[in-house]
Structure 1
Amino acid sequence: MAFLEITVPPLPHYIASGLNSIPQDGQHPSRSNIQVFDLLITKSGCFYIGEEDARFEVNVGQAVILRPDRYHFATKACSELTYTYWLHFHVGGEWELIKPVSGAAVSLEDPASAHMPTETFVVEPFKMRIPQFTTLLHPEKMYELFDQLHQLQANAHISSVRFAQQQLFQEMLHQLAASAETDHASASRACAEKAASYLRQHYREAVTAKQLGDELNFHPVYIARCMQKEYGCSPITYLLRLRIGQAKLLLLQTELPIAHIAQEVGLEQAAYFAASFTKFEGMSPRTYRQQFSHRL
């Protein structure tokens, strides 16, 4: 299964939607480079469409997302009257279409990726992953959302209504993502999320790769591969980032000695804490605290 992976923020943006009918022996129109994503959901009947080397037979309760930069073409005529919901949306940030393949094992450590820009509070992007083609878990819910969008369209010139449409669209994306949760491809995400949850609960403790593997009942190399895929770093680096983030809060909000803060976030050796903090933030813990000190 291919996935559309969107980096958030910014959130994908709803543009327009509607309901189309394709007569018996008719075809979905062929189009090229329409510059927006096209979400298509079959309400009744079935239609056939292709994108590059992919071919989709979209039956009732199934959804397909077509890319904005490719040629889309009908591969077969409809054998019956077919109704399809359509929705155009825009992605303002980074995105890619991913076709999962089994990758090589990654290292448990990746110090090269440890450095992050110096900011008081870092807004860390996350990945929104939705299937390009899927059978909806709750198709009737999706139909209802489309109908609500249609009802709002007459007043779409009002800002509050546009905001309501965006909220409905976000719920659609949630429904699409949920439809793929039982797919094998989500196993990697589930493993990574479990590992991240464990690290967040135990960041004050000394956590080893073996301990993490024992707790999750997965091989440490597999956990590392999953976290690299989902979060872009190894468990070791994820844990260190978490500890440094917590240390920044304590430096900003308390007057605790730096050595005490190091212990609070699970780094017993003050020298190692200072070196790690400097590597991530480009300045020492002391300098970081001083930049927020009150000046008369």
Structure 2
Amino acid sequence: MSFSPSYIHFAAPPFPYFLECGHTVYQPGEQHPNRSRMGKFDLILVEQGCLYLGEDHKQWEVPAGHTLLLLPDRYHYSVKPCEETTSFVWIHFHTVAEWLEAEGEPVYAGRDTHFQQFLTYPYTIRVPQFGPLPGPAEPSGQAAQLLQFTRDRRSSAVWQQQRIFEEMLRMMDLAQQDASGSHAAEIAEQTEAYIRNHYTEALTNTVLAEALHFHYNYLTRCMKRVYGLTPMEYLTDYRLEQAKLLLLKTEIPIAAIADRTGFESTAYFSRRFASKVGISPLRYRKRYSR
């Protein structure tokens, strides 16, 4: 079946967490069981042969050296039995952060919810639903390590397996960035980094354009495409994020916090804060004070 490639985008932190893994071998004529809404992600790494799997309206032939990520809220089924001896490693994992399925460029997953709950902006981990194993990552070797730790003491294995699993996700994510060569993503990240390093200053459209050597309209297109925000929207939200931290971690007066985080006045800061968070800065501080 022909369809556009999909990517699964995970907001992190918190990072997806490892649950369990195993190794399965099918002989010719055997097939993967049908499953519906398992409630966990199922990452399959085929070592030998070929699996024929479907998820809702999609179907794949997954040959050796390829991965398939089955989603927790879908119906998974066998398209047909294996035609040759087929072996694969399966990894079950989950996440408490937001995730979504999309095509093409990276997206800024879970922005508003993440801001409210974790006081920080997430990084978007981008994993292809189906594709070749990234060569430099050697995931099959990492998968072997995951399997090895299933035989160790749980107190040791749980930490080691999470570390190895996160490294696998990191290499799959980096491989997508390298393969896409996305100029928009690169420019968006440069803009984001500049804003984070200069948010206390009087940043304007002109300042950003001159500092980054691109027309502001182009910076806006890149930021909207990757993060879903204009540079100025990102700046305001990031200032509010830093203000939240100061309200929680210090006893600095509200006016001083407004000044430290780059807002032009205390009144403007209070309006923007209340609009975003739902209460005033003072009430926010009191909510978490004894």
Name the TM-score class by shorter chain.
0.7 to 0.9
After alignment, is 213-222 or 41-50 more displaced? 213-222
Deviations 1:143-178 (A, max 9, x none): 22111122121235x233223222222222212212
After alignment, is 278-287 or 236-245 more displaced? 278-287
Equivalent residue for 1:31, pick from 13, 21, 34: 34
- Tell me the TM-score normalised to structure 2 length: 0.75
Partner of 1:55: 59
Residues 1:207 and 2:203 are matched in the alignment: yes
Q: Secondary structure of 2:61's match? A: strand
Retained in 1: the 8 A contact 2:48–2:64? Answer: yes
Counterpart CA distance in 1 for 2:214 and 2:30 is 48
In the TM superposition, what are the counterparts of 1:182-221 in structure 2 within 5 Å? Answer: 182-184=178-180, 187-216=183-212, 220-221=216-217
Equivalent residue for 1:67, pick from 66, 71, 74: 71
Q: What residue ranges of structure 1 are gaps of 5+ in the alignment?
A: 104-112
In the TM superposition, what are the counterparts of 1:77-226 in structure 2 within 5 Å? Answer: 77-78=82-83, 80-100=84-104, 122=119, 124-138=121-135, 141-155=138-152, 158-184=154-180, 187-216=183-212, 220-226=216-222
* Residues matched between the structures, number: 279
Q: What residue ranges of structure 2 are gaps of 5+ in the alignment?
A: none
Shift of 1:244: 2.7
Counterpart CA distance in 1 for 2:181 and 2:7 is 9
Retained in 1: the 8 A contact 2:105–2:182? Answer: no
Larger Rg: 1
- Tell me the TM-score normalised to structure 1 length: 0.74
Equivalent residue for 2:260, pick from 256, 259, 264: 264
Counterpart CA distance in 1 for 2:45 and 2:284 is 51
Deviations 1:204-243 (A, max 9, x none): 2222335434544555445435434544433222211222
Shift of 1:82: 3.4
Retained in 1: the 8 A contact 2:185–2:226? Answer: yes
Retained in 1: the 8 A contact 2:105–2:225? Answer: no
Amino acid at match of 1:97: E
Amino acid at match of 2:162: Q
